[in-house]
Amino acid sequence: MSIAFLYNDIFRNSDFGNNHPVFPKRVSNVYDFTKLLNLRKNINFIENKKANLKTLQLFHSFDYLEILYQTEKTQYISKDNSKKYNLGTFSNPIFKQMFSRHATSAGALVLATDLIKTKYDYVFSPGSGAHHAKQNRADGFCYLNDIAIAILVLQSKGYKKILYFDMDAHYGDGIIDYFKNNQEVCTISIHQENLWPRTGDYLYDEVNNTYNFPVPEGFNDYNFKKIIDELIFKIIKKFNPEVVLMQMGADCLKYDKMSKMELSNNSMSYLIKIMKNLSQKIILMGGGGYNPWVTLRAWTYNLATLLGETESLELNKKAKSFLHNITYKDPPKYDWVNYIKDEPNIFDYV
Ligand SMILES: [Zn+2]
């Protein structure tokens, strides 16, 4: 089983600026780290390009795209436009590659829709997953909604049963609110209740295939397993997706300070294993994730699970020193630089 790993070095060479929660190299770390592991033999690394304007317009308004593009070029935005398009703020700052980086994230998922139809069952794009971007404005660190665009492209290719699963601690409002009345797109979101954007109330809509599960602080692996086994498994089985897009925001994991959810990365792996039994085609993304070690280990473990090679996750000397050499505000815990899987793992025996 080989997987396409979509990547572009713009993720290494761009960042949101000092003190922004989206820390530098969070995507290139996954690329570099994967290359140090035994996993790499079954991975085809593919460099993707930016999505073109016409494709971006499937979801976004032309005036917003124009402003975003111009702001990248001039590094300036007027007060009125800043307010109107939610750009040049603390969350969505002006930076050198603010259009190009997000157009590249979208380009990855557009390429994924091709690859999944032709050559691959699984595609991994850690630089994609901007689930808050709206049609006419940026929101929550997300400038272009790569996922909504990919779903629209899939629909244009004739897919009638598309499943979107949102693992991120924050409600995926940019996608779910847009597709909530579209029966051909089933959306399932688990997110922390009352966390920004403070929408995504409980919803179990079997007519429109929209399912929102707000969960309390402290939501852990046991709670996750229960909700998956008792509710979500049946929803997915009944919907019977042709293709699944998974936004795996690592801010739902314990020790990510952006939420108070307490999942381990084993929860993500458990879900991916289930998804592999329920859908032949999977596009696996990144998303939120603001602790460099927690995020990197989770996304790598996700990739290994997709490959079916979780046993190859023993870290060699080079991989360990890569983890040691990541610098961040706080020093890492011992486990974060020595192991990929979190402990304890309640899923070992299932
Ligand atoms: Zn998030």
Task: Give just the sign of the alpha carbon dihedral 256, 258, 260, 261.
Answer: negative
- Cα-to-centroid distance, 10 and ligand 1 (Å): 21
- Cα-to-centroid distance, 262 and ligand 1 (Å): 14
pLDDT of res. 312: 76
- Cα-to-centroid distance, 201 and ligand 1 (Å): 16
- Cα-to-centroid distance, 317 and ligand 1 (Å): 32
8-state DSSP, 333: P
- Cα-to-centroid distance, 288 and ligand 1 (Å): 4
pLDDT of res. 41: 76
Q: Which amino acid is at 113?
A: T
Per-10-residue mean pLDDT of the chain, 350 residues long, equals: 93 95 96 91 94 98 98 98 98 98 98 96 98 98 98 98 98 98 98 98 98 98 98 98 98 98 98 98 98 98 95 91 95 97 84
Note the CATH architecture for domain 3-337. Answer: 3-Layer(aba) Sandwich (3.40)
What Cα–Cα distance (Å) separates residue 341 from each residue in 54, 151, 205, 225, 315?
41, 31, 35, 17, 11
- Cα-to-centroid distance, 285 and ligand 1 (Å): 13
- Cα-to-centroid distance, 65 and ligand 1 (Å): 23
Give domain limits for the chain.
Answer: 3-337
- Cα-to-centroid distance, 118 and ligand 1 (Å): 31
